[in-house]
């Protein structure tokens, strides 16, 4: 039977070094995907994931056993992502798009090999949705990402973002309205 995160944290605190490895393997994809939704860049998401787990390792003694570990982990991932975004003012490829939707940088860097129709449609859908999500504020993107990519409840999202439940719900509703109007 698989141990819960709570027991793995206790095991690690009692000297079982492998418990932390299990925690990292269990949650690495979750943290990476969350960071990717906020940054849109694989390398940046890897860096943020690494920083997040270093912070987990350094602060695991502060983990409240009454609180769900996943909530605590995502709160640290959120704060690490925000800190990272504030430190780095990277340019965004979409900033180089012309009024016609052409992007000279991505067109130049793009692989010219033809894609299958299905892959092309999926890529186009992701690009379209990603472009819409990038027009949301960072906090609204976090709420949408936590809700739909991580299937978290509004209560958990409120805990992660340190926001009241009603604030999370209203920002979620406003973000959906904003996205609907863009479409």
pLDDT band at 89 (very low <50, low <70, confident <90, very high): low
Query: DSSP code of 71?
Result: H
Residues 7, 76 within the same domain: yes
> What CATH code is carried by the domain that includes residue 49?
1.10.1740.10
98 occurs within a structural domain: no
Tokens of 32: 């990476």
Q: pLDDT tens across 1-51, in order?
A: 788 888 888 888 888 889 889 999 999 999 998 888 887 788 888 999 999
Residues 54, 14 within the same domain: yes
How many separate domains does the chain show?
Answer: 2
Looking at residue 116, its pLDDT comes to: 46
Residues 86, 18 within the same domain: yes
Q: pLDDT tens across 165-181, in order?
A: 999 999 998 888 887 88
Residues 120, 75 within the same domain: no
Residues 123, 160 within the same domain: yes
Q: pLDDT tens across 149-158, in order?
A: 888 899 989 9
* Mean of the per-residue pLDDT values of the chain: 78
**What is the DSSP annotation of 7-70?**
HHHHHHHTT-HHHHHHHHHHHHHHHHHHHHHHH--HHHHHHHHHHHHHHHHHHGGG--TTS-HH
Residues 69, 134 within the same domain: no
Find the domain containing 163 and state its range.
114-183
Looking at residue 50, its pLDDT comes to: 92
Residues 176, 118 within the same domain: yes
60-to-47, 52, 146, 158, 160 alpha-carbon distances in Å: 20, 12, 22, 21, 16
Residues 6, 69 within the same domain: yes
Residues 129, 179 within the same domain: yes
d(CA 129, CA 64): 36
d(CA 70, CA 76): 10
Of 90, 125, 157, which residue is a domain's last?
A: 90
d(CA 154, CA 169): 7
Q: Name residue 178's beta-bridge partners.
A: none
Where is pLDDT greater, at 92 or 50?
Answer: 50
pLDDT exceeds cutoff 90 at 52: yes
pTM of the full structure: 0.56
CB 75 within 8 A of CB 19: no
The segment with the largest mean pLDDT, out of 56-65, 136-145, 166-175, is: 166-175
pLDDT over 70, % of the chain: 75
Which residue's structure tokens are 């390398």? 43
pLDDT exceeds cutoff 80 at 115: no
Of 43-47, 96-100, 138-142, 177-181, the range with the lowest mean pLDDT is 96-100
């Amino acid at each position: 039977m698989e141990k819960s995160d709570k027991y793995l944290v206790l095991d690690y605190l009692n000297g079982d070094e492998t418990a932390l490895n299990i925690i990292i393997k269990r949650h690495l994809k979750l943290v990476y995907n969350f960071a990717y939704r906020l940054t849109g860049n694989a390398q940046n998401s890897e860096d943020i994931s690494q920083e997040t787990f270093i912070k987990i390792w350094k602060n695991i003694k502060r983990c409240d056993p009454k609180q769900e570990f996943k909530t605590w982990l995502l709160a640290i991932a959120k704060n690490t992502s925000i800190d990272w975004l504030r430190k780095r003012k990277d340019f965004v490829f979409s900033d180089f798009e012309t009024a016609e939707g052409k992007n000279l940088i991505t067109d130049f860097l793009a692989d010219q090999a033809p894609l299958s129709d299905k892959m092309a449609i999926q890529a186009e859908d992701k690009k379209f949705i990603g472009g819409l999500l990038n027009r949301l504020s960072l906090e609204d993107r976090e709420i949408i990402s936590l809700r739909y990519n991580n299937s978290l409840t509004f209560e958990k999202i409120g805990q992660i973002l340190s926001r009241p439940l009603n604030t999370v719900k209203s920002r979620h509703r406003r973000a959906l309205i904003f996205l609907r109007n863009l479409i």
